[in-house]
Amino acid sequence: MNSIVSKQWLLARMYEPDLIIVDCRFQLGSPKAGQDAFKASHIPGAIYLDLEEDLSAPIGEHGGRHPLPDPQTLAQRLGQVGISNSSRIVVYDDQGGMYASRLWWLLRWLGHDNVYVMDEGFTSWKEAGYPVTDANPVQVPSTFQYSVCKDMVVDMQTVRLNLDNPSILLVDSREPARYQGLQEPIDAKAGHIPGAINSLWKNVLNDQVTNAWKNIEQLREQLAPISEAIDSGKEVIVYCGSGVSACPNVLALYRLGYEQVKLYSGSWSDWISYEGNPVATGEE
């Protein structure tokens, strides 16, 4: 299912009235970097949505470093920037689609499937000589009606209750060293949820072209252990550090036709916030 579009595709359609372009550039550790980059230069007509201010709820005791936003609050924000239920939405970032995929997932979670991620990202767009601007976009408020797709997401309790369930496969999307417990630069504990396999989200990207996604055949080969598990009847739950970098893996599996993949939204940072949750290290 083609949820990735090329920059050429967007260039040909960027002024169509139902198309909304969203810039999701962000940089962990430098929260204002994405907003500053947007102010300096962006695709004409694009609006900016921030990972932490718009696409996450405030951090609490549990829920992870980027908790899911309240659906009504997010829907109101989408309406404020002009997104309606009839909008076609193209999202981009400059980080291989990691943050763009978060908005792709959130929109589908709210019941809006007409959303795409632009391949290769903003730098590729700019280097191709395509138009950019520093002008503030005109935002005509609209109304976004949502219907939450509850079966797209699971919580900590669901994961914990199913640790020994052979019909469920957990997929950890983080760097192998973090998964194995060899290092942990962000969260308080190192390791992974017991039973999870490791499938780094960056492996969905093409080694030869910066920030470009692999094609369907390459993805099919890359994600074979996961797709084979689904084909055998297993349920797949994907997680990462905070529910963001898992989204490219969910999107990649969606492209292969696996719409039923679930996201553990709180992910590792939520898992370790509960005393007594087991932690595994090394390979599974």
β-strand 235-239 against 88-92: which pairing, if any?
unpaired
One-letter identity of residue 249: N
Q: Which of 284, 281, 254 is nearest to 268 (CA)?
A: 281
Separation of alpha carbons 212 and 231, rounded Å: 27
Active site positions, annotated: 240
Q: How far is CA 70 from CA 75, 108, 109, 267, in A?
A: 9, 14, 12, 17
Q: Which of 26, 17, 16, 89 is nearest to 55 (CA)?
A: 26
Q: How many CA atoms lie within 13 A of 205 on its CB side?
A: 21
- Backbone torsion region of residue 63, taken as left when φ is above 0, otherwise alpha when ψ lies between -120 and 50, otherwise beta: left
